[in-house]
Amino acid sequence: MELKSQIPDGPIEKKWDKHKFDLKLVNPANKRKYKVIVVGSGLAGGAAAASLAELGYEVECYCYQDSPRRAHSIAAQGGINGAKNYHGDGDSVRRLFYDTVKGGDFRAREANVHRLAEVSNNIIDQCVGQGVPFAREYGGLLDNRSFGGAQVSRTFYARGQTGQQLLLGAYQALERQIGLGAVKMFSRHEMLEVIVVDGVAKGIVTRNMVTGKIESHVADAVCLATGGYGNVFYLSTNAKGCNGTAIWRAYKKGAAFANPCFTQIHPTCIPVTGDHQSKLTLMSESLRNDGRIWVPKRKEDCGKPASQIPEDDRDYYLERKYPSFGNLAPRDISSRAAKQACDEGRGIGATGRGVYLDFDDSIKRLGQPKIEERYGNLFEMYERITDENPYKTPMRIYPASHYTMGGLWVDYNLQSTIPGLFVLGEANFSDHGANRLGASALMQGLADGYFVIPYTIGGYLAGIKPGSRIKVDDPAVKATEQTVSDQISRLFAIKGKQTPDHFHRELGKVMWEYSGMGRNEAGLKKALELIPQIREEFWNNLCIPGTGEEVNQSLEMAGRVADFLELGELLCLDALNRRESCGAHFREEWQTGEGEAMRDDESFCHVAAWEYKGEGSAPVRHTEQLAFESLHLATRNYK
Amino acid sequence: MSVAEQSIAGAEARGHGFLASSVGRKIVMAASGIVLFGFVTVHMIGNTQAYMGAKSLNAYAEFLHGMLHGGGIWIFRAVLLTATGLHVWSATTLTLDNLAARPVGYRAQQSVASTWASRTMRWSGVILAVFIVFHLLHLTTGQLHPAFKAPQGHEYFAYDNFVSGFKVPAVAAFYIVAQLCLGLHMWHGVWSFTQTLGLSHPRYEGLRRNFATGLTLLVVGVNISYPVAVITGFIH
Amino acid sequence: MSKHLNLTLHVWRQKNTSCDGKFVEYPAENVSPDMSFLEMLDVVNEGLIRKGEDPITFDHDCREGICGTCSMVINGRPHGPKERTTTCQLHMRSFQDGESITLEPWRAEAFPVLRDLMVDRTAFDRIIAAGGFISVPTGSPQDANALPIPKENAELAMDAAACIGCGACVAACPNASAMLFVSAKINHLGQLPQGQPERYSRVRDMIAQMDAEEFGTCTNHGECEIACPKGIKMENIARMNRDFLKASLTYRPAVVGGGAG
């Protein structure tokens, strides 16, 4: 397998412009003769489907939800970055580029990140044009706030529902194209396989989640925008339905999987309450702008109510360790610091896995109405879940799995190692390196969907003869369809005793324990022993009631868990092989005396892309060397 | 079911008439409702002359019949009939649509915000329709009024008919029940038409409610006072 | 930690759209008050699966109150007894030990039951497709700050845009009307300068689609406003009616004009 990144030459500021010019164009009259399948309808998928249809391509869009408006992009709270520099505080495309590369701990591709920073401004324009009600100042101009890891105010937001509003913008653009007949929408359809013929992606196989019908759909190109695989940890901030099936099946069909071990833990989530817990709720990182994080200095104080712990007995550990960034230190640093405090026995709450996020000072300084205006809905949500009033007692928070920087390997055109298979948004690996900055996920999803794929897919399609699409009754298509039916039959045939969720929980415990915030060789090796055992038990003791020809949520879940049970293993294998600490990947063997991550640029300044070699064979690790021509490799320092 | 399998009717339906649209018919209902509420209010005010004695009320009847050489009352009647027709038509078609919109009901439905008045609009409306027919046959044409005295030339006996009509306890009771229905119908209806015609603004929310309540209490209170006054002998 | 609860569920079970359904009783035992309502159902379902019985099908996804997927009528109220709360954010501490809970799907002709508590809400998508957007092709808009928007309008637009499209308004409405949903989108876009060019065609198109989907009509009960987990106000309906009246009074059939070539 060869990893050709297709990065255009020339100075970094000119690469994208040059590339856009160099890409072949599809004759406008021919565009309707090309069909593109988009899987996923979130920010990346929705934006791509709408934009491609606007250009004139025939588009089909698939999502597992009952409506494209429900994709999990909707849950992003905080905001979206844009290098507009409306506030004149020193922001620029170059600074956003720099912050993103540095935030990603120099494990992202420079050229991709620069392009992301460039189009960030177009995204803001596009969204405002669509009617996204971003927060405004009294003069009617757009408001910004600063967000985790950034020293400039470049985050645009719509209350605590920025993801929702951006998604509704993309959804409305998509629905407009559906109404015009330019996009065919298939909701409640789960993609279960990529159709690859002669090494080229030609379509997908889906299961209609209402009728259970297995259907093949052929196209000239396939875009996967199916999100991340954070649910491999079972408990995460992802939606219950989020899954890695689409990218995992693509991986097994020949798409390289890059940096699976780069998974982000979000520092501010509501702590777990018990075994019944089905997901973790994120509290926007923007809260860290006005909240102070602390734990008691002494273990003995942990049981006391927060109000009875005097100021002198509190350890504002982020402010203490990172004076210049304080409570706004990047996500991985904040998460690990919380874990450390809890490991020392200074965690708070019933489980001892929690730290305080305290608004007392801000309420005193700004008054409760101001805090209400900024975070009212978040505070309300917190109170609804925990039954505690955060205006009176400090919030309890703890890190949780949130985002996956790893994903299918793509080149500069967002094309995977399978020609014709493009990967967008969180599903690809490209822009965030080893760690993603706050408010950058929305930016990347929309950048890929609105401003990258509409150009780069044209370059691919221009090389295909219009109308040369494979027929849906082609034997190769039918054979792929059969493998999907067979897999479903295999799952039903187990007839065991345990629920899909049971195995998912078991996997999650192993993943979180050995491959969560801190990783080490012994733990990862242990995980690599345990995961195959769980998988073995899964394939021997799973129970799915009902049949495949009806709505069957157990079957849906079982298929996803089956894939997570394989994906989790690759994640651990990648973590084991990356013998350095970088960004969110923290190997305990590689840390400074002060507990900071130690990168090894000599050996690991590369992307690790895994190639599937068939069942029972070990996957092969390929590398794409990362060259930093525009920026200097530097150690992250948030002190 | 995927969206792909169903069509978007919007573009074609756009050409459809105002009256075919649900909101259009609601606006018709609201506008005709305003006419009818206006009428009952004026009717109530006119009838207060019963308290001024026979002469006053009979003269009022004569005045109404004499307007525009007798044409005025027919213009009134035409407007009222049209408004009633539109009101009944829109109410009927909308109600049928609403019943069809929920063919299977809930086992445990709880009403939280709706009022008894809002939920009984269709029944109070039906009772009012029956009442209007009765009322016309009773005090306008007299078929259901055994002691009815028809006008003779320019001489009207509105007052006598009024008193003798309400002296029958069952009739008085029916009038009172009908007025209570009118009260329920008006209380929701007056507020509701402001909503349907888009006259809503948080600043005037209290005003809208109070206007509906005030107008309803006034009309219903005065109207009920007539049969009560006759039964108790205050008017005789 | 407070006491665990024992509850009795009366759940609507229906195999698919064409089958008849019925209520079935299930015990939910030893329920922690810290569970969300959906987590309680998860536990019941895992028990059913282990017994080889069909678990209760219900729609859910984000479980943080924003995706709008979860949808069930709990004791006669969409999303249950707590105001401004979706089912996934409803916690069992809102219930009493020994309580009986009736679970029904959204009931509306426009929302056919797919299975048990899961309904088809694609009618909402088609209403949006009919006009719930601003026609702005990718890459075409001007600079984001070129048009100042008064903060008040931006806030009002956001209030309306907060709608999660769950359908609780339809479920709660005695007439199964979708007016609150439709009016929320019309007012979100109608408050903004970018939404003005299509303001009046939008209201006609969306209402036409709403009627075509066989939703009921608004009789101003106000149940929708109380049921709405995002607090969308009925004022939106009034504003939509006003726009519709204006749109109808000034409507002219589309002019079909050819280019000069």
- C32-41 pLDDT tens trace: 999 999 999 9
Question: Hey, is the C-beta of B6 within 8 angstroms of any chain C C-beta?
Answer: yes
The band of B5, judged by pLDDT with boundaries at 50, 70 and 90, is very low
Q: What is the pLDDT of residues A553-564, one digit of tens each?
A: 999 999 999 999
| Phi-psi category of residue A387: left, alpha or beta, with phi > 0 → left and psi -120 to 50 → alpha | left
Q: Which residues of C touch A134 (CB under 8 A)?
A: 144, 154
Q: Is the dihedral of CA A610, A613, A616, A621 positive or negative?
A: negative
Going by the DSSP 8-state scheme, the letter that residue C174 receives in this structure is T
Q: What is the pLDDT of residues A54-72, one digit of tens each?
A: 999 999 999 999 999 999 9
pLDDT for position C1: 47
pLDDT(B15) > 70: no
CA of C21: which chain B residue's CA is closest?
A: B104
**Domain C5-114 and domain C122-249 have a common topology:** no
**Catalytic, out of A69, A70, A159, A331:** A331
CA dist., res. A327 & res. A146, Å (int): 12
Q: Which two tokens stand for residue B90?
A: 């829109």
**Greatest C-alpha distance within chain C:** 79
Chain B residues touching chain A at CB-CB below 8 Å:
1-4, 8, 10-11
CA dist., res. C17 & res. B1, Å (int): 11
pLDDT(A409) > 60: yes
Q: What is the mean pLDDT of chain B?
A: 91
Question: Hey, is the C-beta of B110 within 8 angstroms of any chain C C-beta?
Answer: yes
Interchain pair C204, B101: CB under 8 A: no
CA dist., res. C248 & res. C250, Å (int): 5
Interchain pair C129, A179: CB under 8 A: yes
Chain A residues touching chain B at CB-CB below 8 Å:
178-179, 184-189, 210
Domain residue ranges in chain A: 266-402
- By Cβ distance, the residue of A134, A141, A210 closest to C114 is A210
pTM higher than the cut 0.90: yes
CATH topology of domain A266-402: Flavocytochrome C3; Chain A, domain 1 (3.90.700)
Interchain pair B198, C238: CB under 8 A: yes
Q: A: neighbours with 3+ CB pairs under 8 Å?
A: B, C
Interchain pair B197, C204: CB under 8 A: no
Q: What is the pLDDT of residues A330-372, one digit of tens each?
A: 788 899 999 989 999 999 998 899 999 999 999 999 999 999 9
pLDDT(B204) > 60: yes
| CA atoms within 13 A of residue A397's CA, in its CB half-sphere | 32
CA of B10: which chain A residue's CA is closest?
A: A179
Q: Do residues A392 and A379 make contact, with C-beta atoms less than 8 angstroms apart? A: no
pLDDT for position C255: 59
Q: C-alpha angle B109/B114/B120, rounded to 5°? A: 90
Q: What is the pLDDT of residues A2-42, one digit of tens each?
A: 999 999 999 999 999 999 999 999 999 999 999 999 999 99
Inter-chain CB pairs, A–B, below 8 Å: 19
pLDDT(C67) > 80: yes
Interchain pair A178, B8: CB under 8 A: yes
pLDDT(A521) > 80: yes
Interchain pair A185, B8: CB under 8 A: no
Q: Which residues of A touch C155 (CB under 8 A)?
A: 133
pLDDT(A617) > 90: yes
Question: Hey, is the C-beta of A241 within 8 angstroms of any chain C C-beta?
Answer: yes
Q: What is the pLDDT of residues A495-519, one digit of tens each?
A: 999 999 999 999 999 999 999 999 9
Interchain pair A276, C35: CB under 8 A: yes
Q: Do residues A451 and A431 make contact, with C-beta atoms less than 8 angstroms apart? A: no
3-state DSSP assignment of residue C26: strand
- Number of neighbours of residue B42 by Cβ within 10 angstroms: 11
Interchain pair B1, A185: CB under 8 A: no
Mutual angle of helices C122-131 and C199-212, in 10-degree steps: 150
pLDDT(C135) > 60: yes
pLDDT(B1) > 70: no
Q: Does residue A331 carry a catalytic annotation?
A: yes
Mean pLDDT in residue range B38-52 = 95
The CA dihedral of C158, C164, C169, C170, to the nearest 10 degrees, is: 130
Q: What is the pLDDT of residues B91-121, one digit of tens each?
A: 999 999 999 999 999 999 889 999 999 999 9
Q: Which residues of A touch B10 (CB under 8 A)?
A: 179
Q: Which CATH number fits domain C122-249: 3.40.630.10, 1.20.1260.10, 1.10.1060.10, 1.10.10.60?
A: 1.10.1060.10
pLDDT(C259) > 80: no
Q: What is the mean pLDDT of chain C?
A: 95
Q: Do residues B33 and B193 make contact, with C-beta atoms less than 8 angstroms apart? A: yes
Residue type, A249: R
Closest CA to C18 of A210, A636, A503, A6: A210
The CA dihedral of C42, C43, C49, C53, to the nearest 10 degrees, is: -90
Question: Hey, is the C-beta of B119 within 8 angstroms of any chain C C-beta?
Answer: yes
Interchain pair A131, C162: CB under 8 A: no
Find all residues with CB under 8 Å of A41, minimum gap 6, and list them. A49, A61, A62, A63, A65, A68, A69, A71, A171, A174, A185, A187, A225
CA of A551: which chain B residue's CA is closest?
A: B1
Q: Domain C5-114 is in which class?
A: alpha beta
pLDDT(A614) > 80: yes
**Whether the complex's predicted ipTM surpasses the cut of 0.90:** yes
Domain residue ranges in chain C: 5-114, 122-249
Q: Which residues of A touch B8 (CB under 8 A)?
A: 178-179
Question: Hey, is the C-beta of A199 within 8 angstroms of any chain C C-beta?
Answer: no
- By Cβ distance, the residue of B8, B14, B98 closest to C217 is B98
Q: What is the pLDDT of residues A196-223, one digit of tens each?
A: 999 999 999 999 999 999 999 999 999 9
Q: C: neighbours with 3+ CB pairs under 8 Å?
A: A, B
Q: Which residues of A touch B11 (CB under 8 A)?
A: 179
DSSP conformation letters of C178-229 = -HHHHHHHHHHHHTSGGGSTTHHHHHHHHHHHHHHTT-B------HHHHH-T
The band of A373, judged by pLDDT with boundaries at 50, 70 and 90, is confident
More confident residue, C113 or A373: C113
Q: Which of B12, B21, B96, B102 to mutate to test the interface with C (most CBs of C within 10 A)?
A: B102
Q: Which residues of B touch A187 (CB under 8 A)?
A: 2-3
pLDDT for position B7: 54
The band of A146, judged by pLDDT with boundaries at 50, 70 and 90, is confident
- By Cβ distance, the residue of A51, A68, A124 closest to C144 is A124
pLDDT for position C242: 96
CA of C82: which chain B residue's CA is closest?
A: B112
Q: Which two tokens stand for residue A527?
A: 């995980």
Q: Which of A60, A64, A174, A186 to mutate to test the interface with B (most CBs of B within 10 A)?
A: A186
Question: Hey, is the C-beta of A366 within 8 angstroms of any chain C C-beta?
Answer: no
Interchain pair A210, B8: CB under 8 A: no
Residue A389 Cα distances to A338, A381, A383, angstroms: 22, 10, 5
Q: Which residues of B touch A188 (CB under 8 A)?
A: 1-2
CA dist., res. A254 & res. A563, Å (int): 16
Find all residues with CB under 8 Å of A310, minimum gap 6, and list them. none
Interchain pair B2, A179: CB under 8 A: no
CA of B94: which chain C residue's CA is closest?
A: C217
